[in-house]
Structure 1
Amino acid sequence: MGRAFEYRRASKEARWGKMSKLFPKLGKAITVAAKEGGTDPDMNPKLRTAIMTAKAQNMPKDNIDAAIKRANGKDSSDIKTIHYDGKGPHGALIIVECATDNPTRTVANVKAYFSKNGGEFLPTGSLSFMFSRKAVFEVKTPKMDIEELELTMIDFGMTDIEVNEADDEHEGNVVIYGEYESFGELNRGVEELGLELISANLKFIPNNKQEFSDSELEDIEKLIDKLEDDDDVQAVYTNIE
């Protein structure tokens, strides 16, 4: 996604957090990570980064602890991670990542969002060749030289880096990309360098981005907003430039 679009999404996420939508989603991500790899953050890189991401969003420690404990509860055994594919208005490609204890409910809701907002729900896997699964770490701009950071992180599996300079409205950040399998090593590199983590996720990255006009983006974002407001939806990925 382009920087301007990312900032619009960041503004949306700020409102989202105030509406108490963000913490439940972060909590569910922690529960899923703990369920998959164990409740000890020292032995589970995915859980460790989910906790760090939650802390970066000012999620209270009690909420984090409760989310970890839920991984051992009966309710967590029913939580499944699944993604759905679709086309938004003007042909935008969209992957919707969900964590749900009721896939029947979730898929019905996602289908409805697409159909009511000018989109089209596609069979799961339809966009598998249009996106690549990547490990993505967003950190605050470090004091160290960016070239030194890049050379060091390559040793931990980094394949690409994006530097977003600070301006009057936004703080600067650095986004580090790596292959899906390199998540643990990249996490270790971030920790060893003492980088201040903003978020760390396994994301669907578009292989070919597409530009849309402002009016087209407004139509697409209406659908994205509906998807993101659903409690079962963890993330929405698009091919927007």
Structure 2
Amino acid sequence: MFAKHLTLYSKLYGPDPNMNPQLASVIATAKKAGMPKANIDVAIARGQGKSSTGGGLETATLEVMMPSSSAAMVIDIESDNKQRSLKDLRVIVKKYNGNVTPTAFLFTRLGRTVLRPQGEDAAAGDFDDIFMQAVDAGAEDVEQDDDGNVVLWTQPNVTHQVAQKLAAALGMEIHSSDIIYSPTSDKVKLDEDEAAGSLRALLAAVREYPDVQAVYANVEKGDVSEELWKTVEEHLGL
């Protein structure tokens, strides 16, 4: 989680902690928790679209289908050598019986931002007022989750601008701000333990690859146990 926030605040407000109090705060917390300086530097550089050596990062996606469950996936990659990363991931996908094939048409790209109140006892405020301000700022939909956080849905090209504008206007903290792949149609239910286990194994292997930023899949819990589903779900998303 430290790495994610370091990258986010570097991207939104710049890489210099002297000019970026949000970044400075996360750096201090990460250091206290024992996060190595090299890892902190990598996360900050990633927020600027750079590798740890200063070279530019390239983005890419790998589209995958799992025949055993008919689950479609999109793997988000950020790498200083995307051809190498794609080649490596194709090997992993093949090893776990997945097929590299077009699946992006089953998803739509959306911006998703989570704003949370600042301070342990703070509240988000009147939702109707938040909703109107969010829509005026460019959000297409607004939700409030069970923890009282405000979730903004936007078009990808305005995600970070809307996040910063609303956070400032509402006095809230940007907890996350990402562009995701959301399934466009009904999700595939996981009913068979064997198929769910195969999907879990592939997801776990893919998530271990360092250049993978996120994995999206059009799946949901069916008849498999809650315990098995959680082991699948923990590998999905960002």
TM-score, length of structure 1 as denominator length = 0.66
Residue 210 of structure 1, CA deviation: 0.6
The aligned residue for residue 179 of structure 1 is 155
Contact 1:27 1:64 in 2 (8 A): yes
Contact 2:140 2:153 in 1 (8 A): yes
Q: 2:105 aligns with which of 106, 116, 129?
A: 129
1:83-98 to structure 2, matched below 5 A, reads: 83-88=61-66, 89-98=68-77
How big is each residue's C-alpha offset from its partner over 1:190-238, in whole Å with a ceiling of 9 and x where there is no partner?
A: 2321223321111122212414135344432322222111111011112
The aligned residue for residue 77 of structure 1 is 55
CA distance in 1, matches of 2:183, 2:99: 18
Q: Please tell me the residue identity of whatever aligns with 2:91.
A: A
Residue 48 of structure 1, CA deviation: 10
Q: Paired residues, what number?
A: 203
The aligned residue for residue 4 of structure 1 is none
Q: Please tell me the residue identity of whatever aligns with 1:174.
A: V
Contact 1:93 1:238 in 2 (8 A): yes
Contact 1:30 1:67 in 2 (8 A): no
> Are positions 1:147 and 2:124 aligned together?
no
Structure 1: runs of 5 or more not aligned: 1-16, 166-170
Residue 103 of structure 1, CA deviation: 2.3
Percentage of matched positions with identical amino acids: 23
Q: State the SS of the aligned residue for 2:54.
A: helix
**Structure ranking higher on relative contact order (CA contacts 8 Å, 6+ apart):** 1
If each structure's helix is expressed as a fraction of its own residues, which one has the higher value? 1
The aligned residue for residue 109 of structure 1 is 88
The aligned residue for residue 231 of structure 1 is 210
> Are positions 1:194 and 2:171 aligned together?
yes
CA distance in 1, matches of 2:198, 2:150: 29
* Higher Cα Rg, which structure: 2
- Please tell me the root mean square deviation across aligned C-alpha atoms, in Å: 3.8
Contact 2:124 2:172 in 1 (8 A): no
1:39-58 to structure 2, matched below 5 A, reads: 39=15, 55=26
Q: State the SS of the aligned residue for 2:73.
A: strand
Contact 2:64 2:72 in 1 (8 A): yes
CA distance in 2, matches of 1:92, 1:132: 16
Q: Please tell me the residue identity of whatever aligns with 2:156.
A: Y
The aligned residue for residue 164 of structure 1 is 145
The aligned residue for residue 7 of structure 1 is none
Q: Please tell me the residue identity of whatever aligns with 1:84.
A: L
Q: Please tell me the residue identity of whatever aligns with 1:162.
A: E
Contact 2:143 2:151 in 1 (8 A): yes
Q: State the SS of the aligned residue for 1:197.
A: strand
